[in-house]
């Protein structure tokens, strides 16, 4: 089955070249790389075509990363879809590790992401999910607590992607909503290998800069998705209510999504 890699980008000419290079260097090759240029004005499309003429570039007009990924999927030929944000990198084992899980008959699989936090904890490393946590199978309730995976570490079949409706729009958490919808329909596979490097920097979309409204809007989308799932019990409903109340009081302090996570964990809102 063909494997398509979709990379959304906007004004990250140098970073996206690094990202593509990490795909080219895989021990198991993908079938195609599709870069979705979402309104760049820094020469990103021409830089990509000059260095990687084999890469397909499509252009959109500032629709955001989630909808840009959807556009990439629409243009892709692969039955297996993998994603890479333009400021992330795949490690050489990325594709082979995910394929080992998908080969077991799964529709969704993900691995470990190593994160380097340059926003609020300069060069501090952490992992998503945390080391030693193998979250797999029916993961719906785990995802209500927190989003423990990132787009750059996921493989999903086209069938599953389409049944879940693709990524959300918006500036924050479009992936969390998508993963929740996926978890209602399919079990998740997990490979206990570090397969992705993710850097949180001042220009990344995980930089919240204390904009509480973005976080509160995201929680509202999570609540709506959870209630529509038909799987929400009193525990999930109460947990989301408490999450909303906590964010309403504290979100203005947070510089990044990781700050949000640390705050939630300190309040006992992450663990079962």
Q: Is the separation of the CB atoms in 101 and 134 below 8 Å?
A: no
Q: Is the separation of the CB atoms in 137 and 187 below 8 Å?
A: yes
Q: Is the separation of the CB atoms in 138 and 185 below 8 Å?
A: no
Cis amide linkage into residue 129, ω under 30° from 0: yes
Among residues of the chain, what percentage have pLDDT more than 70? Answer: 93
Element of type H or E holding 230: none
In this structure, how many other beta carbons lie within 10 angstroms of the beta carbon of residue 90? 26
**Which structure tokens are listed for 263?**
């705050």
pTM (predicted TM-score): 0.93
Residue 87 reports pLDDT greater than 70:
yes
Q: Is the separation of the CB atoms in 99 and 31 below 8 Å?
A: no
**If you average pLDDT over residues 116-140, what whole number do you get?**
82
When the pLDDT of each residue in the chain is averaged and rounded to a whole number, the result is 91
Distance CA 52, CA 47 (A): 8
Q: What is the pLDDT of residue 121?
A: 61
């Amino acid at each position: 089955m063909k494997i398509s890699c979709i990379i959304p980008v906007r004004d990250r000419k140098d970073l996206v070249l690094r990202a593509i290079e990490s795909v080219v260097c895989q021990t198991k090759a993908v079938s195609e790389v599709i870069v979705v240029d979402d309104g760049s004005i820094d020469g990103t499309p021409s830089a990509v075509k000059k260095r990687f003429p084999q890469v397909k570039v499509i252009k959109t007009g500032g629709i955001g990363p989630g909808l840009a990924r959807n556009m990439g999927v629409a243009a892709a030929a692969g039955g297996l879809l993998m994603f890479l944000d333009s400021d992330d990198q795949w490690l050489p084992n990325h594709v082979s590790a995910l394929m080992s899980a998908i080969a077991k008959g799964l529709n969704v699989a993900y691995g470990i992401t190593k994160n380097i936090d340059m926003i609020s904890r300069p060069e501090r490393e952490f992992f998503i999910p945390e080391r030693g946590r193998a979250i797999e199978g029916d993961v719906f309730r785990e995802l209500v607590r927190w989003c423990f995976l990132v787009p750059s570490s996921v493989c999903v079949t086209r069938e599953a992607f389409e049944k879940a409706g693709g990524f959300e729009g918006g500036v924050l958490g479009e992936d969390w909503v998508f993963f929740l919808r996926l978890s209602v329909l399919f079990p998740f596979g997990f490979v206990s290998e570090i397969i992705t490097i993710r850097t949180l920097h001042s220009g990344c979309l995980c930089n919240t800069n204390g904009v509480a409204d973005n976080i509160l809007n995201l929680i509202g989308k999570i609540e709506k998705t959870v209630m529509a799932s038909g799987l929400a019990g009193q525990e999930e409903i109460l947990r989301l209510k408490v999450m909303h109340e906590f964010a309403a009081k504290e979100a203005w302090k947070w510089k990044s999504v990781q700050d949000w996570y640390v705050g939630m964990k300190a309040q006992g809102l992450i663990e079962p």
